[in-house]
Amino acid sequence: MQARLAGLSPAYFGMVMATGIVSLATHLLGMQSVAKALFLLNCVVYVLLWFLTILRVVRYPRLFFDDLIDHLRGPGFFTIVAGTCVLGSQFVVLAADYRTAMALWGGAGVLWIGLTYTIFTGLTVKEHKPPLHQGISGAWLLAVVATQSIAVLSALLAPHVEQPGRLEMNFLALSMWLWGGMLYIWMMSLIFYRYTFFPFSPGDLSPPYWINMGAMAISTLAGSLLILNSPDAPFLLSLLPFIKGFTVFYWATGTWWIPMLLLLFIWRHVYRRFPLRYDPLYWGAVFPLGMYATCTHQMIEAMGFEFLRFLPQLFMYIALAAWATVFVGLARYLLRHVNAFRF
């Protein structure tokens, strides 16, 4: 058990991200009891993961800080930021608890600043670096997701803040939305280059490659919320054609990824027979599915694309099934290790 704690994946907060966004998707599409149950579960998971993370820092500080500047494990820390913001979004949408949501928003902002500049500075100045095809993966796009999650929570909180704070929150949301989009372009260029010009094995195609789509989906959600908030901020009204254009651009890019990711999944697990067993990184594959349902629903509300109304419902059920599958995998994994510990 000590070894499990020492090797705890920094990306485990992806479970909070996945559970939270599936909860929000089911709420928006009318499954209130499921949404509330997942909300309560998410609060428990969030506290438990923080307890394990702090315990790991205290007992294994060297391993923890080595992970921060590791090219493969380091980006997983951004799930802490995104998970905190997704939980904050649940407090806004499901509980109308703006005080708790504001506290989570502040904590996420501090974490985002600390992790962004620690991780990227560490990766820049470290002496020994892996080659591109060994050091980059879809997990790097978690930095984009973390950035856009702050934009989303800021936009959700903005209508509940008095002026001039409302203007400032919307400006922060806009700034983070723009920065997240630029960061995606930088990182996706390197990831796509790695995919197409270096040898690729099934083991290289880890579950976070679904973040290729998830990063665009959360960017779409942030853009849609900015459109809905535009009556409260004159600068958003002046930028409305630009925001609408880029929101559709993000959605279209994320949609393009879905068939590609399905084909790669089939190639990995059917054609190449790579074993499908529980891994905490699979929460990073559930999150994009739930986010696609949520962002498409909000884009329809913001821009009136009624002909897309069938998509949120479809992807909500897919995301719910994927969440249940990974959760069962987690339960079996925990039971297996508990039994091994007992005997």
Residue 340: predicted pLDDT: 60
Q: For residue 19, is pLDDT > 90? A: yes
Which comes out higher in pLDDT, residue 207 or 232?
Answer: 232
Identify the band that residue 1 occupies on the pLDDT scale cut at 50, 70 and 90. Answer: low
Residue 198: both structure tokens together:
């270096």
Res 341 pLDDT > 60: no
Q: What is the largest CA-CA distance in the chain?
A: 67
Task: Tell me how far the alpha carbon of residue 110 is from its chain's centroid.
Answer: 17
pLDDT, residue 296, reads 97
Q: What's the confidence (pLDDT) of residue 342?
A: 59
Higher per-residue confidence, 305 vs 203: 305
293 pLDDT more than 90: yes
* Residue predicted with more confidence, 119 or 204: 119
Alpha carbon 279 to chain centroid, angstroms:
16
pLDDT of amino acid 287: 94
Q: Hey, is 154 helix, strand or coil? A: helix
Average pLDDT over residues 4-10: 80
Please report which confidence band the pLDDT of residue 316 belongs to, taking 50, 70 and 90 as the band edges: very high
Name the one residue in this structure whose structure tokens are 């600043």.
113
Report how far residue 20's alpha carbon sits from residue 76's, in angstroms, rounded to the nearest whole number.
17
**Residue 256 reports pLDDT greater than 70:** yes
Q: How confident is the model at residue 208 (pLDDT cuts 50, 70, 90)?
A: confident
Q: pLDDT > 70: what percent of the chain?
A: 98
**How many angstroms separate the CA atoms of 167 and 174, rounded?**
10
Residue from 92, 94, 88 nearest 37 by CA: 94
User: What CA–CA distance (Å, rounded) separates 51 from 28?
Assistant: 31
Task: Output the six-digit token pair for 58.
Answer: 């205290």
- Range of weakest confidence among 102-111, 163-172, 291-300: 163-172
Mean pLDDT for 327-332 is 91
pTM of the complete model = 0.94
Mean pLDDT of 58-76: 90
Name the percent of the chain lying above pLDDT 90.
71
Residue 203 has pLDDT above 60, yes or no: yes
Lowest-confidence range among 15-19, 161-165, 219-223, 337-341?
A: 337-341
Confidence at 25, pLDDT banded by 50, 70, 90: very high
Predicted local confidence at residue 339, as pLDDT: 65
Whether the predicted pLDDT of 54 surpasses 90: yes
Return the pLDDT at 223: 97
Q: What is the mean pLDDT of the chain?
A: 92
Higher pLDDT, 26 or 162: 26
